[in-house]
Amino acid sequence: MKLIASLTSPYARKVRVVLAEKKIDCPILIDQPWEADSQVARYNPLGKVPVLVLDDGNTLYDSRVIVEYLDNISPVSRLLPQDNRSFIATRRWEALADGICDAAVAIVMERRRPPEKQSEEAMAHQQQKVERGLAALAHDLGERPWCNGEGYSLADIAVGCCLGYLDFRFATLDWRTSHPTLADYYQRLSARQSFVDTVPPTA
């Protein structure tokens, strides 16, 4: 089994954190989908990372499918709740976090276009999604220590990777001032070894 990933992808980081929390040893093949020599399309027809290549050659994508697979193949540190209500709540957190990342990535990709072709309107539209998403995260978290109450779960991993991506790509976005409880929560998450070991490279 091997993981095809970009070290800057928040979706790939989510999988890498899950691997660490589950103590699953899995080699990582670095691939940047936007580069000309990318090989990821051989494994995922959508040309996106992450992709988990299984021992039999079959592949799994996207990150939400991969993390559920990983949680099921090892009983160590179960990250998806077993009861249906909590399971759906966890998936809702993950969907919101991933959706914020989708909007943030869209802004990043738009900024990579030639200046004369960039759409300020399109970027503003995506920025509104990010801001509404952060407000929803802060509101739903409230004063709880973890997304699902007392227990750390995949919901926290997804939200943590989302906030980490915003810090990585949008250093001037001062979300901590607007959402102090979310800032305290992220500080706790960032201290976990699985998050320390998967911080995106600065170069």
Where are the domain boundaries for CATH 1.20.1050.10 in the chain?
Answer: 84-196
Domain 2-73 fold: Glutaredoxin (3.40.30)
Q: Identify any residues that bridge with 149 across adjacent strands, giving them in sequence order.
A: 146
pTM: 0.97
Q: Which two tokens stand for residue 144?
A: 């709880």
Where are the domain boundaries for CATH 3.40.30.10 in the chain?
Answer: 2-73
Domain 84-196 fold: Glutathione S-transferase Yfyf (Class Pi); Chain A, domain 2 (1.20.1050)
Q: Which two tokens stand for residue 91?
A: 């998936």
C-alpha–C-alpha distance, residues 147 and 130, integer Å: 18
Handedness of CA 41, 44, 50, 55 (dihedral sign): negative
Query: Does residue 50 have a cis peptide bond before it, meaning omega lies within 30 degrees of 0?
Result: yes
Quote the radius of gyration of the chain (alpha carbons, Å).
17
Phi, psi of 4 (to 5 degrees): -95, 120
Contact 40, 31 (CB under 8 A): yes
pLDDT tens string for the chain (203 positions)?
A: 999 999 999 999 999 999 999 999 999 999 999 899 999 999 999 999 999 999 999 999 999 999 999 999 999 999 999 999 999 999 999 999 999 999 999 999 999 999 999 999 999 999 999 999 999 999 999 999 999 988 999 999 999 999 999 999 999 999 999 999 999 999 999 999 999 999 999 85
